[in-house]
Structure 1
Amino acid sequence: MTDDLIERARTALDAAYVPYSEYTVGAALRTADGTVFTGCNIENANFSNSLHAEEVAIAEAVKRGHRELDRLAVTSGARDGITPCGMCRQTLAEFCDDDFPIVCDEGGEATTEYVLGDLLPNTIGPETLESAIRDSE
């Protein structure tokens, strides 16, 4: 049986705006209370302004007052096991612990599950900034 979050991420692919790469990405983010937010990638001719599916889902959750995140599923139209990029991993680290689960779609029923700490070791967090401030004083 395919993970419900993977199915929600796959559905989010339909809304992707990808006129340049034609590479659709969908994400489904479950919060601690069970609410699910989805996101898709939204490209821009200035690639640096493009939005990633995970960012869109996180932004929607945070905008609606959710700060405790439970699990993320990510897929692409290619079903190639895509994982969140470094920027998205860092955004997740702002709200999640190292053991936060990320499920990646390999196609069909196949998935691979990671934890955030394995994908982003030695993250930059509030304690990093506090330490830098103390060291500069």
Structure 2
Amino acid sequence: MEKLSLTPADHALIEQALAVLKNNFDDGTYHHTVGCALRTSTGQTYQGVNCDGIHGSCAEYVTMGMAISAGARTFDTIVAAHDHSLHGVVAPCGNCRQMLFSYCPDIKVIVNDEQGHLVKVAARDLLPFAWQPIVVD
């Protein structure tokens, strides 16, 4: 797994994810507890928070949906955040890892590595042996 160092733009992305959460934090009625920021390959950024409910929607799903709804199709980097997490960053859950793998397996995901350092890794590296559609010839 290739681990990439963060750039100033990546640190700004973390701040955007923390800001959208701070501006929308709701630990009661809606349980908005995770913020997310996504940067497209053109540099456009999108932010979102998780939505609680029977099935719920993670912040990564909400943010990816916003970007796709706005016409984005190529993605560079994504981060999920909570201000009580190490470096403010939380790793994507299994569902989000599969979604990222399906939509953009090469998107870089900001996570804390095994030593607690911030790094970027490809989504495909977060989900070895990911489910893929069966192609029948």
Q: TM-score range by the shorter chain?
A: 0.7 to 0.9
Give the structure 2 partner of residue 95 of structure 1.
103
Gaps of 5+ in 2: 1-7
Give the structure 2 partner of residue 31 of structure 1.
40
For the pair 1:115 / 2:122, whether they are aligned, the reply is yes
Give the structure 2 partner of residue 129 of structure 1.
134
TM-score, length of structure 2 as denominator length:
0.76
For the pair 1:68 / 2:74, whether they are aligned, the reply is yes
Which of 16, 28, 39 is equivalent to 1:19? 28
Compare the two structures and name the one with the higher helix fraction.
1
Alpha-carbon spacing, 1:65–1:21, altered in 2? closer, same or farther (3 Å):
closer
Q: How many residues align?
A: 123
Give SS of 1:10's match. Answer: helix
Asked which structure has the greater CA Rg, the reply is 1
Q: Trace 1:73-92 onto structure 2 (pairs within 5 A).
A: 73-80=79-86, 81-92=89-100
Q: Percent identity, please.
A: 28
RMSD: 2.6
Alpha-carbon spacing, 1:17–1:56, altered in 2? closer, same or farther (3 Å):
farther
Alpha-carbon spacing, 1:95–1:21, altered in 2? closer, same or farther (3 Å):
same
TM-score, length of structure 1 as denominator length:
0.76
C-alpha distance in 2 between matches for 1:43 and 1:16 = 12
